[in-house]
Chains A and B, each alone.
Chain A
């Protein structure tokens, strides 16, 4: 009798805890929406893209430059980090001796644990002055792209490595038996076979890059503009929220929540794409 009761209590407690943790994500969506709603009802949502400028206290809510900034930074970081990440994974899997490969993977996981504010500090103090020598002001789109690329490189390399490790050994053996060179085995067999895993890792990396705040806030200069060159400073959606949230009131505050909501949708889109790739692989 009493045993059954303790068991029921345990079950109820655990069930309640899981309902709580499941609801958090819904709460996040709900509160973001609730805080955005006053402004969404007041103005035409297209104005967030079309307004000529970002002067939220004067009723101009053009988020387009920030949107462009976020997108450019993410695309740039992917262009730098994706090839490097794949090459590093190939190195660890096919070219390095076992011990060196293990040490390298350990180095990558150490790197993935370094907080973004430390990357930002390094970018601001070391990298930005170097870029300033080439072309002032130094804090720029390029600085953001490079630091973010370093930051997401471990994610991409480690997941590409995991994907290549799970390619069946028979594929590679078969290719070797057919007289493929090592290079052909890697680029012609291993990478195509591991493609879904590699792409999933890249999408994870892109999601991290677009949601990253501290690095872009510290090294990108935060000027509201669509950049003309990689040396121009930019402001991203995330940096915009971090810069203005502490003093924003009423419509201004709501506009920041709208940009948060936009960001959330983009990241959810990334998650949905990588999930559908994973689902397809499992189907096969």
Chain B
């Protein structure tokens, strides 16, 4: 009884929270809102430049994190099997990295990309900071996908005299595609929800960015700024939160589809 009561209570609370965002956000969603520049510090107008900046930051993030993460995952899954010293150390370092709070990434990004490398408050600084942040989840998912390819596939290929490169390219990657996509989407979702690491790396200029070296405000930073610093910005903060949540839910849905498919291919392999 106690358990059911608590579960119902907490469930209702959650629906209150999600329902609040959806109901208060939905009326603000119009073409103009998605298409226009913000006016009057965001109280009026739309979020077009914010969406463009967000997309640019995410492109920088994935453009940097995917090659490095992919290489690391291949190394951990195919070349080291978790047994070499380097493999063990890298995995350990990634576990620690996964638990570093986002504000610390913000400090790091500010010190390294904005100041030391001289990129200032820019989309590039923000994107690179987020790339460091999403690496662990990206690597973990891709590695799990590569490892899920059955050993028999590798052994048969080796018995047929295929080179390792050919095995990876023609057998393992195709089989692991869904999990690669899932890793990418998980990283994307994580980057999209991040705020604290961006406030002082990519900054909060809400103009349309002209290059990657311009400061750009991400969707999450826009919500924060409207809610905290702009009196009367609530309506547009809710509408922006609505957009953010819908984007995240779509990404999560796609991830679930990928993982589902991955489970099925694995079943067939067995």
Contacts and interface: CB of A to CB of B under 8 A. Distances in A.
Interface of A: 3-4, 6-7, 10-11, 13-28, 31-32, 34-35, 84, 87-88, 90-92, 94-96, 104, 107, 110-111, 113-122, 124-126, 150, 153, 207, 210-214, 217-218, 238, 241-242, 245-246, 256-257, 260, 263-264, 267-268, 270-271
A265 to B, nearest CB: 11
Interface size on B, as a range, is 35 or more
B103 A241 contact: yes
A95 B8 CA distance: 12
Interface of B: 2-4, 6-7, 10-11, 13-14, 17-18, 20-21, 67-72, 74-76, 78-80, 86-87, 89-90, 93-97, 99-108, 110-112, 116, 132, 135, 139, 163-165, 168, 189, 192-196, 199-200, 220, 223-224, 227-228, 234, 237-238, 241, 244-245, 248-249, 252
Given A14-B75, A213-B102, A214-B220, 6 more contacts: A14-B72, A15-B79, A18-B86, A32-B108, A121-B227, A238-B196
Given A91-B4, A107-B11, A110-B252, A21 B135 contact: yes
Given A3-B163, A125-B234, A111 B196 contact: no
A241 B106 contact: yes
9 contacts: A6-B163, A17-B70, A21-B135, A27-B112, A118-B244, A120-B224, A121-B223, A125-B234, A150-B17
Nearest to B95: A271
Contacts of B11: 104, 107
Contacts of A32: 104, 107-108, 111
A214 B218 CA distance: 14
Nearest to A108: B14
B12 to A, nearest CB: 11
A267 B71 contact: no
Enumerate the 5 nearest inter-chain pairs by beta-carbon distance, A residue then B residue, closest first. Answer: A211-B101, A17-B71, A115-B193, A14-B75, A213-B196
A25 to B, nearest CB: 4
A35 B200 CA distance: 16
A118 B223 contact: yes
B193 to A, nearest CB: 3
A94 B130 CA distance: 40
A22 B90 contact: yes
Contacts of A90: 3
Q: Which of B69, B102, B104, B132 has the most CB of A within 10 A?
A: B104
Contacts of A271: 95-96, 99
